[in-house]
Structure 1
Amino acid sequence: MTDFAELYNDPILSKKRKGSVEDPYLTYSETLTVYNGRALLTEIPNREFRVEVTGENKEWREIEDGELEDNYFKVDYLMGVVFFNASNEGKSLTFNYSGEGAAFFPASRIWIKRQGNMVVETLQGLIDDAEDAIIRMNERIAECERVTKRCIEITNWCRQATSDYEYVVENTRKIYLPMVYTYQDLMDTYPNPQIGWVVTVRETGIEYRWDGFDWINISISDQFDGYNVVSSYVEPYNIRTIWLRTNSSPSKKRVKPSKDVPDSSMIWIRKG
């Protein structure tokens, strides 16, 4: 509903020239299109100098009363509106006149809806509703942008977390393959290793893991049969061997826990 208290405080503004030497009328020659049977002039025309219409190869005649025939027109010299017959709809015509100025109506004085003589809605109300809608739309856009930004941050975080997980998996996973006897056997048996492959070299009991570039010593395997035993007079350098001090020539043996008698290179620990 229109706020009439505000409406009456929203005046019509008028700027009119005096037509004197100091404040002369402004001469116009403007081309306008007839829409809804009328053309709205830029300024209010001076009644004394009248309005001249040209175009469409017709001789246009101004009338003040009577029916508007095809080449007739009427001028509202208070509002600056020129009226035409419906047959001239959409035509572009040239208007020559002396402009006295213009009256400017506030949007609150232009009605959009009415009930009888009661104004229900004005152009200003429509403008206010549109501005409120724009504000709400901008707020929603801002919220969407905030949510979108947050989604992008979460997506980037997930990608980084996935990347970190893949890195950890790539650098920690172990895929155990059958052991080999020597390090050279490791090279020969697995010439095209994949990241994470783990192979025990039985000779030393060392586990090697392929990291994508080299076989890396990662631990001493618990998957071998026993310990090396050196039978000699001199203490061996390898701390992972058991030294059996004898006066005999150095020889290398291994401890073999088993039920069956091992070959001569083993020291047999008989298991029940």
Structure 2
Amino acid sequence: MDFLKLYNDPILYHKRKDTYDDPYMSYNETHSILNGRIFLTENPNRENRVVVSGGNKEWKEIEDGELEDDCYRVDYMMGVVFFNSSNEGKELQVKYVGEGAHFFPAARIWIKRSGNTVVETLQGLIDEAEDCIIRMNERILECERVIKRCIEITEWCRAITSNYEYVVENTKKEYKPLVNTYTELLDTYPNPLVGWTVTVRDSGIVYRWDGFDWINISISEEFDGYDVITSYNEPHNIKRVWLRLNAPPKKRRIKPSVDAPIGGLIWFRKE
């Protein structure tokens, strides 16, 4: 215990002057007896005495001697009223005139002791509580930072998901049976869904419905060549060269060009 600090933390006493500006205060308080005593709000004035009532008894104040069941003793210096232990827990009315009060520093109020040695004071408990509050506030701030970061990540994920959904919506293809002409395309698919893809046989153009119109998405023969499909059934996409075989499907690429293509394409030489 830091006694130097303790002695610089004195007990303060505020005593009323009993004047017009600073009069004594009349109190009528209700208290329960705890550990054989009642602590008053202020130190009572000795001349006006302390009057106790309640508990179905006629109470008598005594100065000294043993406390009987219906007696009480007042410490006018400290503002404490003492009772016989048989009255423990009783609720009583206390009337008195207050002339001031002592104010004790928390460092001089003990809450734990070992014999006559003080182990812990109220100030120590307050300091521990303040440290806990500081640590708790730090944890709260850290949690708020984590929550803020989680919100940012969530918003980022939503944006990425939205972009992904947009890309999927605008690039997905669902191939439908081919038609002979563009007019037949409009007649055959009057209520298309986004992504429907149809090949027009007479022009060789592949159209995709984007939600508003049929868009030409045909690949460039000059740069991309043709797909070669070997299968028994005719494919929907006529941009692929079909070799009908009674064999499992297999896909390759064929390139019609004057010069030999680079890569593993099948070269169809143009004159």
TM-score, shorter chain, exceeding 0.5: yes
Letter in 2 for 1:126: L
Alignment of structure 1 residues 5-84 onto 2, 5 Å: 5-19=4-18, 24-84=23-83
| Counterpart residue identity of residue 84, structure 1 | F
Q: 1:117 & 1:9 partners in 2: Cα distance?
A: 22
TM superposition shift of 1:178? 3.0
Q: What is the DSSP-based 3-state SS (H/G/I as helix, E as strand, rest coil) of the residue aligned with 1:136?
A: helix
C-alpha root-mean-square deviation of aligned residues, in Å?
Answer: 2.4
Provide, for residues 30-67 of structure 1, a one-character-per-residue CA deviation record: whole Å limited to 9, x for no partner.
22232333211111112232211122342111123344
Q: Distance in 2 between matches of 1:29 and 1:124?
A: 31
Superposed CA deviations along residues 45-101 of structure 1, whole A, max 9, x for unmatched, are 122322111223421111233443332212112210112234433333221222221
**What secondary structure, in the 3-state scheme, does the structure 2 residue paired with 1:108 have?**
helix
After superposing the two structures, state which structure 1 stretch, 32-41 or 200-209, moved more.
Answer: 32-41
Per-residue CA deviation, residues 188-227 of structure 1 (Å, 9 max, x unaligned), is: 443443321211111122211011233222336763599x
Counterpart of 2:218 in 1: which secondary structure? strand
Aligned-pair identity (%): 71
Residue in 1 that maps onto 2:84: 85
Partner of 1:124: 123
Which residue type is aligned with residue 96 of structure 2?
Answer: Y
- The Cα of 1:22 is off from its aligned counterpart by 7.6
One-letter code of the match for 2:117? Answer: M
- The aligned residue for residue 168 of structure 2 is 169
Matched AA of 1:160: A
Unaligned runs of 5+ in 2: 221-225, 227-237, 242-271
Off by >6 Å, runs of 4+ in structure 1: none
Q: What corresponds to 2:189 in structure 1?
A: 190
- Displacement of 1:104 in angstroms is 0.5
After TM superposition, give the deviation of residue 112 of structure 1 in Å: 1.6
Q: Partner residue of 2:205?
A: 206
Q: Is the 8 A contact 1:202 1:224 kept in 2?
A: no
Deviations 1:235-267 (A, max 9, x none): xxxxxxxxxxxxxxxxxxxxxxxxxxxxxxxxx
Supply the AA of the counterpart residue of 1:55.
G
Say if 1:15 and 1:102, in contact at 8 Å, map to a contact too: yes
CA 1:175–1:47 in 2, change beyond 3 Å: closer, same or farther? Answer: same
Question: Equivalent residue of 1:44, what SS?
Answer: coil
| TM-score normalised by length of structure 2 | 0.74
User: Which residue number corresponds to residue 159 of structure 2?
Assistant: 160
How far apart, in 1, do the equivalents of 2:163 and 2:89 lie?
A: 70
For the 8 Å contact 1:108–1:125, the answer to whether it is kept is yes
C-alpha offsets along residues 123-178 of structure 1, whole Å, 9 cap, x if unaligned?
11110110010011011001101101110110111011001011011101223333
Quick check: 1:205–1:220 contact (8 Å CA) kept in 2? no
1:195 is paired with a residue of what secondary structure?
A: coil
Q: Which runs of 5 or more residues in structure 1 are unaligned?
A: 227-272
